[in-house]
Structure 1
Amino acid sequence: MKRYKIPFAAPELPDLQNSWWCWATTARCGVKIAIDLAVPRKRAPSEEALRLIVYFVRVCCLRFDFRPKTDPYCQARYTFCPTGSAIPLMKEEDVIEVYRLQAPVWEFKYGDLLGHLKIMHDAVGFKSSLTGKNYTMEWYELFQLGNCTFPHLRPGMDAPFWCNQGAACFYEGIDDAHWKANGTLVLVTTISGTMFNEMAQWVKYDNETGIYYETWTVQASPDKKSTVWFDSYECSKFILRTYQKLADLGAVFKKIQTNYTSIILFSGEPIYLGNETSIFGPQGNKTLAAAIRDFYNPFKPHQSVREFFVDLFKIIDRVILNHQFYLFYNLEYWFLPMKSPYLKIIYEEVPLPVGSKASSGV
């Protein structure tokens, strides 16, 4: 089993009933992780096992009871889900084709420009055989990528202000030209109306409880077996969760290659710093608060070419020359001791899921 070093002490945990296994439902990561406590049944779990459980709960398992209202300060340049509609109830006997959709980010504005860098956006399409109607479902930022990646530093507010919610968008129609021109539109499986309706209920839950967009994946090194300190939570992860849900319901996927974009930061062991209250509150750490605000300042929107290059130099100085990065993840701040190659965009294969042996497709 891979060993994880956790940079904080494990708090008191509920009785684990001397179980051989502890199941952590990591819905935010879209998987279930079985943690082998590797201890005799009559002995308490080891400190290392407890720390491992706490790590996954803290950085992977966070779901929320409800979606908070967005602050009026958060504004989108492009309206979120302008033609969105409720997910329809399909007839049980319907046969629905499921399509993998992928195109370069901002293809509608820049064409294939970001496609050359393999910075891709993912969605899923559906076609009903009974009605002939097509539908698109995707998950993306409410207030664009920049707002989800870096905060605003507002006058009179000590803490950075985040506009980082993401959400699902469902609407009628598939824009064939958009997906085909520089991307992908390909059939991946076929499901029944019953399976579609069950998926729709899951989407409602997923959308109401997994609410914050996270741009970065953070790894210890470029090696494929490297420790992943933090996983991203963006459009492709929603599609992967959707595919997995369909597989769990019985969908049988075609054997085709599917690649996805990840933007990776490379860091040594992260250091937990605290949350907004513990850092920026009345009893907070003023020195740390100032350092975090100072770090985020160069990432603000720019008004001139000169300002852009001045701030770019500051970013290079801090992230590359001084190996510093402050990460906001699951409402908590972490310090990343950055290391070479610092940042990398990868376009890597993630196979389509395989359902249980008891499952059967349409």
Structure 2
Amino acid sequence: MARPALLFLVSLVLCLSLYVVSCESSLTEAVARPKPAPQCEASHAFCSSGVPAGIPPAPLGIDIFSVYLLRIPRGDAHSDCEDLDCHIIRPTLGFTSKLTNQSYTLAWYPLFGMWNSMVPHLPKKNNNSPVWCKQGAVCVSRTARGWRQPYITQISGDVFEQLMQWTQTVNKSNLDYGAWTVRTWHALNATMWFPVNDSATFVQRACQQLARFGAIINPGQTLKVTRPAIFSRKPQRLGTASQIFGPTGQPALAEKILRFYRDFQPNQSTWHKLLSSLDVLEDLLLRRSLYFYHEGNYWLLPPEFPFVHFITDYLTL
């Protein structure tokens, strides 16, 4: 392996306190959001600076809203973000009323914090299933600070109200927050194994909803987004949690999955972080295997060189 690639890989796994891999859910909004597990508690309240009831007062139908892209650090608009979450620059949608000059930001965040969206809670008994707290949710706040990007469209007050009602539907559905893209290592025509459901794809979905409500999106609008990518050959489905864990499961496979996620647990000592980093390197370089959780199923992912890197995607709005 070339030395620069090895150094990049070592640097990556030594940053376990910042990133951990888990597969993204599909974007189906029909599934109702289940009651969260008791372990799913964020260190700070979600969207504490958002508008009351999660939706602004209904505007006048004659009002006109300008719609534009924003790139904003979560910490600039929210006092309730975690350390990792505060420094992530996310694309969002901004709206400004012509009648009142009131601005709003529409953003997609992990409901239980960034760390909980990436790492499962491990059971006290080794044979039990991990608990995932990956759900995402929409936050509407009375602010539009950030780096303003191109103007997208103008909408009426009625369309703005329709979009706000749609966000309520999203927040009642079972959608996971995710940031990693998993694909083959090909510059052109790469196969994406799992969909991404991050802030950028939410902006894309919101613009699609605006178009369905009658808004005319400026032609040629694209959203540039940089994402961490996992490069892999075709994943192998291992089974559901009930098929792997528990008294009727597969104890050997269950132990391998728990050991894998144990390497990414927070609050490790410096010594344990080093040992965990070596374990991850062993999984990548020797075993050539990673484990992923996706839509209630666990998958075995055979990584391919260069394993992990940042890529740039362009999303059409």
Deviates more, 1:100-109 or 1:261-270: 100-109
Residues 1:173 and 1:76: Cα distance change in structure 2 (over 3 Å): same
CA contact (8 A) 1:151 1:160 kept: yes
Task: Determine which of 303, 306, 310 is the counterpart of 1:341.
Answer: 306
Partner of 1:231: 195
Partner of 1:99: 68
Q: What CA deviation, in whole Å up to 9, does each residue of 1:166-225 have, x standing for no partner? A: 111112222x2xx13xxx444321111121122222222222224222332211223231
Q: Which runs of 5+ in 1 are unaligned?
A: 1-58, 353-362
CA contact (8 A) 2:42 2:113 kept: yes
Aligned equivalents of 1:252 and 1:316: distance in 2?
Answer: 49
CA contact (8 A) 1:320 1:339 kept: no
Matched, 1:65 2:9: no
Aligned identity (percent) is: 32
User: SS where residue 267 of structure 2 aligns?
Assistant: coil
Mapping of residues 320-339 of structure 1, within 5 Å: 320-339=285-304
Aligned equivalents of 1:269 and 1:119: distance in 2?
Answer: 30
Task: Determine which of 184, 192, 203 is the counterpart of 2:167.
Answer: 203
One-letter identity of the residue aligned with 2:315 = V
Matched, 1:148 2:117: yes
Mapping of residues 1-362 of structure 1, within 5 Å: 60=26, 62-85=28-51, 86-87=54-55, 88-104=57-73, 120-156=89-125, 158-174=128-144, 176=145, 179-180=146-147, 184-254=148-218, 255-352=220-317
Q: TM-score, normalised by structure 2?
A: 0.81
One-letter identity of the residue aligned with 2:274 = F
Q: Which runs of 5+ in 2 are unaligned?
A: 1-24
CA RMSD, Structure 1 to Structure 2 (Å):
2.5
Aligned equivalents of 1:173 and 1:105: distance in 2?
Answer: 12
Deviates more, 1:216-225 or 1:240-249: 216-225
Q: TM-score, normalised by structure 1?
A: 0.71
CA contact (8 A) 2:245 2:251 kept: yes
Please report how far the alpha carbon of residue 249 of structure 1 lies from its aligned counterpart in structure 2 after TM superposition: 2.3
Flag the structure with more relative contact order, 1 or 2, with Cα contacts below 8 A and sequence separation at least 6.
2
One-letter identity of the residue aligned with 2:181 = T
Query: Which has the larger Rg?
Result: 1
